[in-house]
Amino acid sequence: MNVIELKNISKIYNPDTIPVRAVNNLSLQIEQGEFTAIVGPSGCGKTTLLNMMGGLDPCTQGSVTISGVAISTLNESELTDFRLKNIGFVFQAYNLIPVLTARENIEFIMVLQKEDPKVIGDRVDNLLKRMGITEQKDRRPSELSGGQQQRVAVARALASHPKFILADEPTANLDSEATAGLLEIMAQMNKDEAVTFVFSTHDQRVIDKAKRVITLNDGAIVSDEIHL
């Protein structure tokens, strides 16, 4: 089953002045449960592609379909609601809310979704345990290491059982030990809950862990490999 389907998508910045084609007539399908890395040199279109998958950046041409919904046809309010219920995001800069504790950051999306408080509590407790950060649950981001902050960010992305997780350079600011631990957790969640992960990365450690590696150059796919 395809979770993500991209058909002939392009992204052109500055179309009326000096056009920059960040993504060029690209088609791609991501199936449920994939653990996929999108790789390539700086400026090849990795982050732009991820942003279009997540509805953060509209296509100039083509269509993006998520679980059967053509998100390019949604208005801004509908798109925001769709992202909230279906897509988890993990960013290089963590993007945690500084005034909230680790626990509060993780439960934030479910609170916005008006989920039952007991469901929220049970899910957050489970994720804190899975991420190995139960003891840090009452600390704010400034009181956490980079690796701990990124674990909170991944837990927040997973909290509401999204259709898939988009992770843009999630290990770029982490040391080897923190990266290994985080990748192991995400791979286990992929296995246990069939969570679909799509990474944009330069990190060879992420590439080695991925089951599928898609290489971009000049906004187009130049190779698409399955790793057993």
Q: Per-residue DSSP letters for 123-134?
A: HHHHHHHHHT-G
The radius of gyration of the chain's CA atoms, rounded to the nearest angstrom, is 17
What's the token pair of residue 36? 């996929």
Question: Is the pLDDT confidence value at 50 over 90?
Answer: yes
pLDDT at 180: 92
Q: Quote the CA–CA distance of 116 and 66 in Å, as a whole number.
A: 26
Supply the mean pLDDT for the chain: 93
What proportion of the chain, given as a percentage, has pLDDT over 90? 78
pTM for the model:
0.91
With tokens 């993500």, the residue in question is 4
Q: Which amino acid is it at 37?
A: A
Residue extents of the structural domains in the chain: 2-226
Predicted pLDDT at 227: 87
Could you read off the pLDDT of 193-224 as tens digits, one per residue?
888 999 999 999 999 999 999 999 999 999 99
The CATH number assigned to the domain with range 2-226 reads 3.40.50.300
Residue 191 CB burial class (10 angstroms; 0-12, 13-18, ≥19): exposed
| pLDDT value for 92 | 84
Q: Report the alpha-carbon distance of residue 225 to residue 93 in Å, rounded.
A: 28
* Token couple for 204: 């060879």
Identify the pLDDT of residue 155. 94
- Contact between 25 and 10 under an 8 Å Cβ cutoff? The reply is yes
Q: What percent of the chain has pLDDT over 70?
A: 100
Task: Judge whether 111 and 139 are in contact, CB under 8 Å.
Answer: no
